[in-house]
């Protein structure tokens, strides 16, 4: 059984990910009220039990699916993206909007993002079975 204590060190070993933090509950509420309405990825992350915040640089692997969806009416959405490194936990990622990025960097990284982007990594911890 994976625990949060084992997952964070594992994620810290992934090339291009940096400074992983657990997103606090008050920030879940802030994201619900302040994220862009077309950012479906962040909305999907908010449906999971655990949300981690990470910085990532240009060397982090590219996603396996599109990060932006163009619709026939000309609108765009930003979907959640599967995070295969935690597939057992059905993990997904979402990329916060610029305003949310700046809010999170100010709060969690003392305003220093080192030119990196923010990434939400969200998942559910599997319940243990009682025997």
23 CB contacts (<8 Å, ≥6 apart)? 51, 52, 53, 104, 120
Domain residues of the chain, as ranges? 4-123
If you average pLDDT over every residue of the chain, what do you get?
A: 91
> Model confidence over 89-115: pLDDT tens digits?
999 999 999 999 999 999 999 988 889
Q: Token pair for residue 51?
A: 């949300």
Q: Where are the alpha helices (DSSP H) in the chain?
A: 4-12, 25-34, 40-45, 98-108
C-alpha 50/C-alpha 60 separation (Å) is 21
> Model confidence over 76-93: pLDDT tens digits?
999 999 999 999 899 999
């Amino acid at each position: 059984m994976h625990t949060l204590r084992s997952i964070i060190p594992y994620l810290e070993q992934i090339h291009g990910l940096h400074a992983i933090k657990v997103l606090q509950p008050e920030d879940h509420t802030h994201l619900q009220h302040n994220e862009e309405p077309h950012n479906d990825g962040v909305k999907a992350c908010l449906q999971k039990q655990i949300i981690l915040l990470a910085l990532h640089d240009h060397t982090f692997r590219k996603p396996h699916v599109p990060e932006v969806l163009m619709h026939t009416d000309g609108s765009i959405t930003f979907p959640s993206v599967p995070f295969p490194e935690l597939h057992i936990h059905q993990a997904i990622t979402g990329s916060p909007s610029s305003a949310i990025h700046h809010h999170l960097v100010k709060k969690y990284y003392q305003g220093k993002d080192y030119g990196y982007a923010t990434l939400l990594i969200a998942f559910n911890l599997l319940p243990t079975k009682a025997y």
